[in-house]
Structure 1
Amino acid sequence: MTKVSRLPGAQTHHWDWQLEGSCRTVGSEVFFRPASEGRAEARQREQAAKRVCAGCPVRLECRRHALATQEPYGVWGGLTEDERRALLVRREPAAVPQVTPAAA
């Protein structure tokens, strides 16, 4: 049985920034794409989400979180899914092929 006294304490301080987010007063449907949404609708929704993010006091913390956790869905820190994916791809070092020594 796991000794509870040996478990690490709560890490809520890592999430406290979310309490200050401007998005807390806006419905999640502004930030997350419904399955039936078309491209034109998606652009409009994403622009609305970005307007909320633009004035948010924790926009950079939100963006850092989404990039660090590779958040796959929604607008986070003013960046769409595609924008975050493009940033992450540019950050990845070029793959170096593994060379295996030839058998002697």
Structure 2
Amino acid sequence: MTNVARLPGALDHRWNWQLHGACRSADSGLFFHPVGERGEAHDSRENAAKAVCAGCPVRRECLRYALEAHERYGVWGGLGEHERLRLGRQARKVLR
């Protein structure tokens, strides 16, 4: 029989935060822009997504995930694509 004592165990603790996301009850289309969306339509949709994130109990975990995974699209942890990109650049400058 295989000895599993040395295995790292389940990684559920790394993903369980997703079960508590405020976005779970929202339309996922709110967080990801459709092809060709620009201007006021984009800003309005993104602001609505960020409003959902504002009251989310796992906002930090979500943002941490998005930054670590280099999520390129959508609103994660209350930040849009360009905001996360800018934050990532700032962090890399600080870490140099």
TM-score clears 0.5: yes
Give % identity: 52
**Residue 65 of structure 1 corresponds to which residue in structure 2?**
65
Cross-structure match for 2:23: 23
Larger Rg: 1
The offset of 1:68, in angstroms, is 1.3
Q: Which amino acid aligns with 2:33?
A: R
Q: Which structure shows the higher helix fraction?
A: 2
Q: Report the Cα offset of residue 8 of structure 1.
A: 5.2
Between Structure 1 and Structure 2, how many residues are aligned?
A: 92
- Note the aligned Cα RMSD (angstroms): 1.9
2:85 alignment partner, SS class: helix
Match of 1:99 in 2: none
Structure 1: give runs of 5+ residues left out of the alignment. Answer: 97-104
Match of 1:101 in 2: none
Q: CA deviation at 1:7?
A: 6.8
> Deviation string for 1:49-103 (max 9, x for gaps)?
0100000000111111111111111000000000000000111138x8xxxxxxx
The structural deviation recorded for 1:29 is 0.5
Match of residue 33 from structure 1: 33
Give distance in 1, aligned partners of 2:92 and 2:73: 20
Report the equivalent of 2:87: 87
Determine the C-alpha separation between the residues in 2 that align with 1:36 and 1:82: 16
Mapped pair 1:12 → 2:4: no
Q: Specify every segment of 5 or more residues in structure 2 that has no aligned partner in the other structure, as ranges.
A: none
